[in-house]
Amino acid sequence: MAIKYHEHATLPVFEIEVAGKITQTDMDTVLPRLEAFLERHGKVRMVEVIPTFEGFELSTIWEGIKFDVAHIRDIDRVAVVTDVGWIGGLTRALCRVSPIEIQVFDMAELEAARAWVEAP
C-alpha cells in the first residue's frame, strides 16, 4: 500500500502518509475510512506526509477529485510534510486560492506539523 492512514485518538485529526504510487486498492481502502471519520467529526484537520511520490494510477484521479470537491469545506487545516520540491511548491501556490488553511513543512519538521494541525 502506498497510503498509510491513521486517526488521532481524541482529536478530529487524521494523518495520511503517501509513499510511492497511489493505486485503486489504496483508494478503496482509505476513502471509506476517511468518509466515516468525516461523518463522525464534521470539520477535521489533516497531516499529509509525502516522503516519496511516484504518481497515481489513472483510475484513481477522478475518484480523488470527486472526493476533494465533495469535502473541501470539511477540512479546516492541512499540514503537508515533504521534501519533494515540486509538491511543496505546488502546495504553496494552492494556499493562495484554497479555502483551507495549508502550511508546508520539511520532513524534519513532522512533529511541528502535527503540533500546528492539533493547535486550537
The tens digit of pLDDT for each residue in 79-96 reads 999 999 888 888 888 878
Residue 55: which residues within 8 A CB-CB, separation 6 or more?
21, 22
Least confident residue range of 2-6, 59-63, 107-111: 59-63
pLDDT confidence of residue 96: 81
DSSP state of 106: -
CA atoms of 74 and 120, how far apart (whole Å) = 16
Which sequence spans correspond to the domains of the chain?
A: 3-118
| 2 Cβ contact partners less than 8 Å away, ≥ 6 residues apart | 18, 19, 20, 21, 22, 23, 26, 54
- Report field, pTM of the whole predicted structure over 0.75: yes
Q: What architecture is the 3-118 domain classified under in CATH?
A: 2-Layer Sandwich (3.30)
